[in-house]
Chains A and B, each alone.
Chain A
Amino acid sequence: MTNSPIVALHGTPAVAGGNAPSEICHSPLAPGGAHVRSVRDEFHGDLLEVSMGPHHPSTHGVFRMIATLDGETIVKLKPVFGYLHRNHEKIGENTTYLGSMPYTDRLDYLCSMTNNWAYALAVEKLAGQPVPERTEYLRVILAELTRLLNHTCLAGFLLQDTGASGTPLMYAFREREKILDLFEALSGSRMMCNYQRFGGCRVDASPEWLEAAKRLADGYNEFLDEYEALITGNEILMARTQGVGVMPRQLAVSAGITGPMLRAAGVDYDIRKVDGYGVYPRFNFRVPLGDHGDTYDRYMIRVLEMRESIEILRQAFAQLPSGPIMDPKAKIRGFKPKPGEAYGRIEGPKGEIGFYLISDGGANPYRYRVRPPSFINLTVLEDMCLGHSIADAVIILGSIDIVLGEVDR
């Protein structure tokens, strides 16, 4: 490999197919999606610049990365963002506080319930709004169901990325549909629940709903056993993921990694424990930690977290008090918090999801900022991919668990 500097790898217009059609051929490694252009003479054909995405089957949406390859090995990798930049923050500054609630659903569209909670928490901090106990429990129940849903889908997508096309994802989506049915029964919508309010939630859970949710939580371990029997000990998965994409602890902390990725690197930091928001301090649960920080650990952490979530759900169903779901003093119409600011954060399935709000006393937030976990988790993508082959980059990206609605907002 030559040591000549690689210039102009970025800054070129974001073009999926290259500029000149004659230079395009399809990569043999990633059929169909990756467009490869050989780098010209000064590299003696040694380095290859591959633009993966924004339309690529394995980038989980419209993510793009520009990888420089020496043979099959990645020597440089630059992510390119913005293909789903929907101006969430600008719109949030032009609508009322409550008006932004449905938009938070669409941030990380797999986990609308936790996004709702994070936003409600930030506004409640800003306005000093208490929340009734029953709602706190409902929030925990819904957040843990969301965690189950998200981690299940992630496991399915990760397996899809390793080439197990279809089947594991089918299993995952089978379970997802069951949870979505619960969400739909409660909130009226499968994906975009728009459920939390400042100082409460929108509708109460009926006893039948709780019964159904309890049944699901009780049966979930069975599904996990089945899934793990298929996958966890699978030789191909181990060969593809163990030792791949190792993230050292120091780097993880400095780069602001949060969520299962951080804990896979062995850092004990779970906001449910650290901040103890809501009623989490009342539950007994463990925080799984990884030793190696590789892709396999990141997969395992999620499976273990799901098992802990089931425990939390069981305890929450047992302790759920009756009572109102909305604070009687909570203001819905004409909600105008006093000037000030607040940052509220929770442990979402993907990491720390936080909202930073500045109020100038008006009906709209002066500044509305989302702290997107998967965007910040991508900071270390290049570090994890260097030295691995391009096929591994796909798995490493899959194990970060990104959702583009949140990355680009």
Chain B
Amino acid sequence: MESLEQIRDRLLSRYPGAELSILNNPSPSAQHSLVVGGSAAREIAAFLRDDPALQLDFCSNVTGVDWPDKEIVETTRTTIPDPAGGPPKLVEQKTKRIQPGYLEVVYHLYSMALKQGPVIIRMRTGNRTDQVTLPSLTPVWRSGEFQEREVFDLFGVVFDGHPDLRRILMWDEFKGHPMRKDYVEPDDYEWEPTPHDEVLAKAKAHYPAPAAPAAPGANAK
């Protein structure tokens, strides 16, 4: 099978101006992926599916990943030559910047016809709040139908062109997207006989302190 670079170059010659970049995967699995800009994603996906050398007709896995805003501390080192002729001084400067977060959707593509794969493509949203629309690839691979709905439900990515975008796992009245990293779950931890750490903190906040020592099993019935 072609390498990811070859696929990218072929795509670029076919769709000049498409935003394509390769994300290297440093782990031993060496499954590198292709980051596709949202605008031309559906044509690119259809090309990957129909191209005779690739025939990626099987979209196995669709999943979302949440990358929240990250504070990045950058250290810049500058050497200032000492005017007195001594050894040059090293000055460290720390700058903080917020790297804006985004939501990412990952597609694992295989070819059933040629029995090869995977080719991994990813799409990224502009941010995590208002620019969360991505083109749906369900028109290209039907298998995205439920999986994209799941990503919509749990991560909050809105898929443009999806035939039936509704919540799938949570109920319709539900607010929020539970798989995001900053989701705060409802505080209903079960009582434990020997609470500790987090559970104890939650239990203290949640349940009234005992007025008088009661039997541990005095669980009202």
Contact check, A126 vs B169: say whether CB atoms are below 8 A apart: no
> Contact string, B140-177, partner A, CB cutoff 8 A, digits 1/0?
01110111000000100000000000111111110000
Give A242-281 interface residues, CB cut-off 8 Å to B: 251, 253-258, 267, 269, 274
Contact check, B61 vs A13: say whether CB atoms are below 8 A apart: no
B29, B167, B173: most-surrounded residue (chain A CB, <10 A)? B29
> In this assembly, does B8 line the interface, its C-beta being within 8 Å of a C-beta of chain A?
no
Contact check, A256 vs B58: say whether CB atoms are below 8 A apart: yes
Pick the residue among A255, A345, A369 that contacts B143 (CB under 8 A): A255
A127 to B29, CA, bound (A): 8
> In this assembly, does B95 line the interface, its C-beta being within 8 Å of a C-beta of chain A?
no
> In this assembly, does B60 line the interface, its C-beta being within 8 Å of a C-beta of chain A?
yes
Interface size class of A (residues with CB under 8 A): 35 or more
Contact check, A125 vs B28: say whether CB atoms are below 8 A apart: yes
| A-side contacts of B143, CB under 8 Å | 254-257, 376, 379
| A-side contacts of B31, CB under 8 Å | 341-343
Contact check, A339 vs B178: say whether CB atoms are below 8 A apart: no
Contact check, A341 vs B25: say whether CB atoms are below 8 A apart: yes
Output the nearest chain A residue to B65 by Cβ-Cβ distance. Answer: A367
Given A82-B170, A254-B143, A379-B146, are A345 and B60 also a contact pair (CB < 8 Å)? yes
Output the nearest chain A residue to B66 by Cβ-Cβ distance. Answer: A367
Interchain nearest-CB distance for B10 vs A (Å): 23
Interchain nearest-CB distance for A349 vs B (Å): 17
Contact check, B179 vs A340: say whether CB atoms are below 8 A apart: no
Contact check, A255 vs B60: say whether CB atoms are below 8 A apart: no
A125 to B115, CA, bound (A): 20
Q: Is the interface of B mostly helix, strand, loop or mixed?
A: loop
| A-side contacts of B112, CB under 8 Å | 253, 267, 269
Interchain nearest-CB distance for A8 vs B (Å): 12
| B-side contacts of A125, CB under 8 Å | 27-29
Interchain nearest-CB distance for B24 vs A (Å): 9
Tell which of A85-93, A319-327, A389-397 binds the partner: A85-93
Contact check, A343 vs B146: say whether CB atoms are below 8 A apart: no
> In this assembly, does B45 line the interface, its C-beta being within 8 Å of a C-beta of chain A?
no
> In this assembly, does A220 line the interface, its C-beta being within 8 Å of a C-beta of chain B?
no
| B-side contacts of A285, CB under 8 Å | none
Contact check, A82 vs B29: say whether CB atoms are below 8 A apart: no
Pick the residue among A89, A254, A337, A343 that contacts B141 (CB under 8 A): A254
| A-side contacts of B26, CB under 8 Å | 338-340
A254 to B178, CA, bound (A): 29
Interface contact tally, CB-CB below 8 A = 115
Output the nearest chain A residue to B168 by Cβ-Cβ distance. Answer: A81
Pick the residue among B27, B29, B65, B142 that contacts A251 (CB under 8 A): B142
| A-side contacts of B170, CB under 8 Å | 82, 85
Contact check, A13 vs B172: say whether CB atoms are below 8 A apart: yes
Given A254-B141, A255-B142, A340-B25, are A369 and B171 also a contact pair (CB < 8 Å)? no
A256 to B118, CA, bound (A): 14
> Contact string, A359-386, partner B, CB cutoff 8 A, digits 1/0?
1000000110101000110111000000
| B-side contacts of A359, CB under 8 Å | 27
Contact check, B146 vs A375: say whether CB atoms are below 8 A apart: yes
> In this assembly, does B63 line the interface, its C-beta being within 8 Å of a C-beta of chain A?
yes
Contact check, A337 vs B145: say whether CB atoms are below 8 A apart: no
> In this assembly, does A44 line the interface, its C-beta being within 8 Å of a C-beta of chain B?
no
> In this assembly, does A149 line the interface, its C-beta being within 8 Å of a C-beta of chain B?
no
> Contact string, A113-136, partner B, CB cutoff 8 A, digits 1/0?
000000000000111100000000
> In this assembly, does B120 line the interface, its C-beta being within 8 Å of a C-beta of chain A?
yes
A267 to B167, CA, bound (A): 32
A128 to B179, CA, bound (A): 28
Contact check, B115 vs A269: say whether CB atoms are below 8 A apart: yes
> In this assembly, does A358 line the interface, its C-beta being within 8 Å of a C-beta of chain B?
yes
> In this assembly, does A354 line the interface, its C-beta being within 8 Å of a C-beta of chain B?
yes
> In this assembly, does A356 line the interface, its C-beta being within 8 Å of a C-beta of chain B?
yes
Q: Can you show 14 pairs from A to B with CB atoms below 8 A apart? A: A11-B172, A81-B146, A89-B179, A125-B27, A253-B58, A256-B60, A256-B141, A258-B60, A340-B28, A341-B31, A344-B29, A354-B61, A375-B147, A379-B145
Using A128-B27, A254-B143 as known contacts, list a sample of 11 further A-B pairs with CB atoms less than 8 Å apart, ordered by residue number in A: A11-B172, A82-B171, A127-B27, A128-B29, A253-B58, A256-B143, A338-B27, A341-B29, A375-B146, A379-B142, A379-B145
